[in-house]
Amino acid sequence: MQSDTVRRLARECGFELAGVTRAQPPAADFGRYQEWVSQGMAGEMRYLTDRRAEVRRDPRNLLPGARSIICVGKLYNQAAPPEQEGHAIFSRYAWGRDYHDVLRNALERLAQQLMALEPHEWKVCVDTAPLLERSYARQAGLGWIGRNTCLINEPLGSWFFLGELITTLELEPNSPPPDRCGTCTRCIDACPTEALVPDGEGWTLDARRCIAYLNIELRGPIPDEQRPWLGSRVFGCDICQEVCPWNARAPETSDPAFRPLYDPAPPLDDLAALSTDEFRERFQGTAVMRVKHGGLLRNVAAALSARE
C-alpha cells in the first residue's frame, strides 16, 4: 500500500500530518533515552523508568508481527489570551476535550478504513503507550525534533498532538526531513528554569526543572525554591513553543473538540475557592483532570505566593 493512500485517509480522519515508518527499533534514539533515564532526568515519572522503559526498545513488543507504524499529528493551536496580573495560565493543549480520547477515536476510524482495503492487526497508541513517538514521527517525515524537544513541522510548527497506529500492514515508508533549527536558541534562552540542557549530541529536557513537570507530573509538594518558577502557570507551560520562530505563523485548529471548555485565564482567587465538585464540573473531560482538585490547588497556591 502506498503512503499517499495512508496520508489521504488520515486527513479524512482529521489529522493534518501523517506518515509511515518501519516498525523497528528506533536506531540510536533508544540509547539516548536510556542515558536520559540513567541521569535521573525523568524525575518521578516512573512510567518512563520502570519495566515499561525496556518495552520502548522495539514497537513489536506492543504488537507482535508489526511491520509499519503510521504516525499522525493533530493540530491544537489556538490564540492565547493576553497574560493578566492575578490570572492563571493554562497550557493551550488542555483547553478543550482530552486529546487522548479525540486522537484514539480518530485513529480507530483510520484503522477501520485501512481494514476495508486490506485486513490487518493493529494497535492504537496515544501518548501513554511505551513508544518513543517523537522518534518515529521524525522517521515518518512529520518533522524534526527541535532544541525544545518538540517535533517541529515546516511550515505548520509544533502545536501538534502525536498518535500512532502500529499495524501488520507492509506500507511504503516516508523519509525524515532535515533539522531546520539552524543556530536558533530562542527556546533555550526563554526557558525560565533552564530546563533545556546540552546532552553531548544536542539538547534535551531535564524534566526535573520543567514547569510542566512541576505542575502536572510531580506528586506532593513543590519544593520551596522551585515554587516561584511557576509564575501564574497552574497547568503546563508553553513558553518554549511560543518563542519558536516556526510557530510565528502556525495555523489554528478548526476542530471544535479543542475549543475551550472553560475560561483559560481565570482569576487565581476564583480557582483557589473551587470546591471538589466545582473543580469536577468545570474541568470534566479535559486534561486538567490529571492533576485532580488537590494538585490544581497546590499549583494555584504556588502562583499566589509568587505574586506576593
Q: For residue 154, what are the domain limits?
A: 3-78+97-167
For a pLDDT cut of 70, what percent of the chain falls above it?
Answer: 99
Does residue 307 surpass a pLDDT of 70?
A: no
Kindly report, residue by residue over 68-107, the tens digit of the pLDDT: 999 999 999 999 999 999 999 999 999 999 999 999 999 9
> With 80 as the cut, is the pLDDT of residue 210 above it?
yes
List, for residues 35-49, the tens digit of each pLDDT value: 999 999 999 999 999
> Over the stretch 218-277, which tens digit does the pLDDT of each residue have?
999 999 999 999 999 999 999 999 999 999 999 999 999 999 999 999 999 999 999 999
| Overall number of domains in the chain | 2
Q: What is residue 93's predicted lDDT score, i.e. its pLDDT?
A: 98
For residue 180, is it within any domain? no
Residue 55 lies in a domain: yes
- Does residue 123 sit in the same domain as residue 252? no
Question: What integer is the mean pLDDT of 203-207?
Answer: 97
Considering the domain architecture, whether residues 203 and 70 belong to the same structural domain is answered as no
pLDDT at 176 over 80: yes
Does the pLDDT of residue 1 top 80, yes or no?
no
127 is catalytic: yes
> Do 295 and 192 fall within a single domain?
yes
Residue 188's alpha-carbon distances to 110, 210, 242, in angstroms, are 37, 12, 12
Q: Looking at 127, 179, 255, 270, which residue is catalytic?
A: 127
Q: How confident is the model at residue 200 (pLDDT cuts 50, 70, 90)?
A: confident
Residues 207 and 285 reside in one and the same domain? yes
226 and 112 together in one domain: no
Let me know whether 209 and 105 are in one domain: no
Does residue 155 belong to any structural domain of this protein? yes
179-188 residue pLDDT tens: 999 999 999 9
Dihedral Cα 46, 48, 50, 56, nearest 10 deg: 170
Domain boundary among 167, 198, 216: 167
Peptide bond into 260 cis (omega under 30): no
Q: Are residues 59 and 208 in the same domain?
A: no
- CA dist 151 and 137 (Å) reads 8
Mean pLDDT of the chain: 96
* Residue 145 within any structural domain of the chain: yes
At CB < 8 A and 24+ separation, what contacts does 214-220 make?
Answer: 215/291, 215/295, 215/299, 215/302, 216/290, 216/291, 216/295, 217/43, 217/44, 217/45, 218/43, 218/44, 219/44
